[in-house]
Amino acid sequence: TYVVTDNCIKCKYTDCVEVCPVDCFYEGENFLVIHPDECIDCGVCEPECPAEAIKPDTEPGLDKWLKINTEYASIWPNITVKKDPLPEAKEMDGQTGKFEKYFS
Ligand code: SF4
Ligand code: F3S
């Protein structure tokens, strides 16, 4: 599966949702997640994210993000249509430790 990681937080560009063939993105207030059981590993969303926040979970060190994506995909509503990024997206793009500070 692919997972959404830290740099999506407070950016939420949503370009990813438009390209997913199985509509497996779910939306929180300032972050999106991928439902790992629904993702078919096509990889088309990865290059679409301007924040480079989407990664294959085969990359090392992503266990935490796989857990977060799994947990919130079962709680948050599905999102399939692109919307405006969050107003602070540009300033927040590239900041580190966003999960600890801002996740919602
Ligand atoms: Fe959707 Fe493909 Fe991205 Fe998985 S890898 S979330 S199926 S676009
Ligand atoms: Fe987030 Fe990137 Fe999608 S910032 S909403 S994963 S396009």
Residue 46 lies in a domain: yes
pLDDT at 104 over 90: no
Residue 92 lies in a domain: no
Q: Which one, of 2, 25, 11, 17, lies nearest residue 94 by Cα?
A: 11
Q: 28 falls in which pLDDT band (50, 70, 90)?
A: very high
Report CA 38 to chain centroid distance, whole Å: 14
Residue 89 lies in a domain: no
Q: How far is the CA of 89 from the centre of ligand 1 (A)?
A: 22
Q: Which domain holds residue 7?
A: 2-81
CATH number of the domain to which 46 belongs: 3.30.70.20
Q: 61 falls in which pLDDT band (50, 70, 90)?
A: very high
Q: Which residues pair with 32 in a beta bridge?
A: 27
pTM: 0.97
3-state secondary structure of 14: coil
Q: Which atom of ligand 2 is nearest to the CA of 32?
A: 5
Q: Which atom of ligand 2 is nearest to the CA of 14?
A: 5
What ipTM score was computed for the predicted complex, to two decimals? 0.98
Q: Which residues pair with 25 in a beta bridge?
A: 34
